[in-house]
Amino acid sequence: MTFSERLHCGLLGLPDVGEEVLLAGWVDALRDHGEVLFIHLRDRSGIVQVVFSPGPSGAEVCTAAAGLKAEYCIRVKGRVVKRIEGTENPGIATGEIEVAATELTVLSKAGTLPFPISEKSMVAGVSAKRDESVSEDLRLQYRYLDLRRPTMQDHLVKRHRVAKIVRDYLDEQGFVEVETPMLTKSTPEGARDYLVPSRHYPKSFYALPQSPQLFKQLLMVSGMERYFQIVRCFRDEDLRPNRQPEFTQLDLEASFIEEEYLYSLFEEMTVRMFRVGGVELPRPYPRMTWLDAMNLTGSDRPDLRFGMTFKDATDVFTNTGYGIFKQILGRGGCIKGINVKGQSERLSKNILQNEYAKEIVPGFGAKGMTWMRVVDGGLESNIVQFFSDAERRGILERFAAEKGDVILMIADPSWPLVCSALGQLRLHLAERLGLIPRDVYYPLWVTDFPLFEATEHGVTSSHHPFTMPDRTDFDPEKVDELLALKSRAYDLVMNGEELGGGSIRINDRALQNRIFKALGLSDAEVEEKFGFFLKALEYGAPPHGGIALGMDRVVAMILGTPSIREVIAFPKNRSAYCPLTDAPSTVASAQLAELGLLDLGGAGQALPGGLEQQDLVDRLVWVSRIAIDDAERADIAAAVADAKNVAGLVRNNSGDDEPMTSVVVVENHTREGTTARVSEFAQTGEIFKNAPAEKGGFFKVAAVLE
């Protein structure tokens, strides 16, 4: 018999009883009963029990079998027999039969294993629990062994299945898979690029794509009309536990379409994908604007598997006498809160005050939290005494509060801060109190994002600069106007995670130019970075839009794995490192020399004197925070050069006297300090008399962004 006649272990069953079969695979587990030896033989299809016993197998085969160890790769010939009643193993699919071996060939031996691989017990009713303490790095170092485990193989098979469904479905819908380059141009799209040096152009670099964004838009200009690709993308971002430097994206783009087309296309496609995991998603997916999402959950990817959405209580306190609220509202702030229904028994005063108000919520960035327990006859808290009756009634009404509820509120002058802190609090409480139902999938489209976000220097794109705004009549110089723009972008969110997102793109060169202007990019910069792309917009670019989906994350969600590394064959670990290949690694200097990379950066190299002086002045501009203009530069450089000479002079004449900082001795001049006095100028407000800008009792300055 040759391998061509080989059958698969996991597919054998009662109909095969009596057949002679040839099997090949790995020894999953062994059980030695002296005369008789049982093994589990495993191939990709599953496991079957093989019996070596003196009768059917013969002494020679039995002797050979006695030398088997876990994970030997073997070839077995034998006859399928029905197991004796009472010895069936329902834990494996082939549990009703076994194979009585007649021949055994060891194809390849295995050394001592770094961790156990078998996941199935040989004894009926007992589950072989794999030791979960195997460290992930060890698993990754021996990934080829880790991937022998049926669970891991199942993940890869299902991943393949999901991808196949995507390809088939998109093919049905007229999409064409087109490959785009991996070696491309570095463009500022948000994250840092992975760079690849070029040998032919020393000190020049390709970049690995962060997404095929520009190429897929170019394909639309080319008239491909419907493109997709399951494509690897690369981002050199800060490490996060569930982030990979390279990841797979389902990327698609279509011309002559509106948002509704993509919603419907994507809903049908994701419904089909989730069926692989036995999940039936309800269509249509609900939609929510970004503003509603922030106002209700404090997140742009709301987890709506549970309630506890925000209520705004700002108006309840319009005329409040409570100092803290009064001050916050006076500065244009807001107050939002949540009602933790019926949880007052589990949220004691102590937990609320000492854990949440003092530790947890400040950790979310809020200055404080107001808590109230709803009891018979009203509210109980350390601060309700400061609230008027009307305010107390207002709270009860606004939060539809009943006895046993706990109301938590956050107040701050900053709306984003209130949303963000309360959003984190909502998730924290839901997690702690077990309010999140398992096995529920809640897909949601989030729409109407702001087109721009404010930064220290102006604005930046929330999505990317090719996103179509909701209005085109804006002035790119006016930050306020820019920040009010919405984008025609949409995110697909599920259970608090973003699965994908996209937008309708700009296909008008003039509009695209104005967006770049708004972003503060100079014409030269735009030309340098995007010239090739903008040129394409001058040749009849069709209206188009698209969307992308993070395949790793979606597959992980479909299969319910704790991390995306479980659905990637050879992932990097949490530190973006590959324990299997030890990548990244240093390279020989000869390699660097060949690429012209040895003398980049110039650290430690002396620069010509003039340049150094120039550097010194600029350094001093920065450390002393005094700007200079070109007319002053020469005088200042001369003065600094003088200072250097003076420094040399004093150094050469210093002597060994103690340094004197004052010609008079002044010691122990203290004031009593036991009675404090509020300054009359603070009382009269004169303290602000000379202030360039004052606001609500504070000195106002330009943003300090930390």
Contact pick of 364, 434, 468, 536 for another protein (by CB under 8 A): 364
Contact pick of 260, 345, 473, 657 for another protein (by CB under 8 A): 657
67 binds another protein (CB under 8 A): no
Helix 259-275 × helix 551-559 angle, to 10°:
40
Residue 230 phi/psi, 5-degree rounding, is: -100, 110
216 neighbors 538 (Cβ within 8 angstroms): no
Per-residue DSSP letter, 602: -
Question: What is the per-residue burial (b if ≥16 Cβ within 10 Å, else e) of 484-506?
Answer: ebbbbbbbbbbbbeebbbbbbbb
Contact pick of 33, 129, 438, 625 for another protein (by CB under 8 A): 625
363 binds another protein (CB under 8 A): yes
Instruction: Single out the segment in contact with another protein by CB under 8 A; choices: 190-198, 412-420, 441-449, 502-510.
Output: 412-420
Per CB under 8 A, contacts with another protein among 1-40 are none
Question: What is the per-residue burial (b if ≥16 Cβ within 10 Å, else e) of 219-229?
Answer: bbbeebbbbbb
Closest CB to another protein among 389 and 680? 680
Contact pick of 59, 588, 603, 704 for another protein (by CB under 8 A): 704
650 binds another protein (CB under 8 A): yes
Q: How far is the CB of 251 from another protein (least distance, A)?
A: 29
Closest CB to another protein among 121 and 460? 460
Contact pick of 14, 107, 587, 626 for another protein (by CB under 8 A): 626
Contact pick of 188, 368, 458, 596 for another protein (by CB under 8 A): 458
DSSP secondary structure letters along 413-479? S-HHHHHHHHHHHHHHHHHHTT-S-TT---EEEEE--BSEEE-SSSEEESS-TTBPBS-S---TT-H
Per CB under 8 A, contacts with another protein among 421-450 are 424
Site string for another protein, 307-336 (x = CB under 8 A): --------------------x---xxx---
610 binds another protein (CB under 8 A): no
Q: How far is the CB of 380 from another protein (least distance, A)?
A: 13
CA end-to-end span of the chain? 72
Contact pick of 85, 179, 238, 538 for another protein (by CB under 8 A): 238
Per CB under 8 A, contacts with another protein among 208-237 are none
The residue type found at 279 is V
Unique residue bearing structure tokens 């742009």: 300
Closest CB to another protein among 153 and 460? 460
Unique residue bearing structure tokens 């022998």: 148
524 binds another protein (CB under 8 A): no
Q: How far is the CB of 599 from another protein (least distance, A)?
A: 20
Per CB under 8 A, contacts with another protein among 533-552 are none
85 binds another protein (CB under 8 A): no
Contact pick of 354, 388, 581, 591 for another protein (by CB under 8 A): 354
Separation between Cα atoms, residue 27 and residue 73, nearest integer Å: 7
606 binds another protein (CB under 8 A): no
Closest CB to another protein among 164 and 700? 700
Closest CB to another protein among 213 and 573? 573
Residue 334: how many CB atoms within 10 A of its CB? 21
384 binds another protein (CB under 8 A): no
653 binds another protein (CB under 8 A): yes
Query: Which residues have C-beta within 8 Å of that of residue 41, sequence separation ≥ 6?
Result: 9, 23, 25, 26, 27, 28, 47, 48, 49, 50, 74, 76, 99
DSSP secondary structure letters along 513-549? HHHHHHTT--HHHHHHHHHHHHHHTTTTPPPEEEEEE
Separation between Cα atoms, residue 561 and residue 566, nearest integer Å: 6
655 binds another protein (CB under 8 A): yes
DSSP secondary structure letters along 27-43? EEEEEEETTEEEEEEEE
Q: How far is the CB of 578 from another protein (least distance, A)?
A: 11
700 binds another protein (CB under 8 A): yes
Residue 698 phi/psi, 5-degree rounding, is: -115, 160
264 binds another protein (CB under 8 A): no
290 neighbors 317 (Cβ within 8 angstroms): no
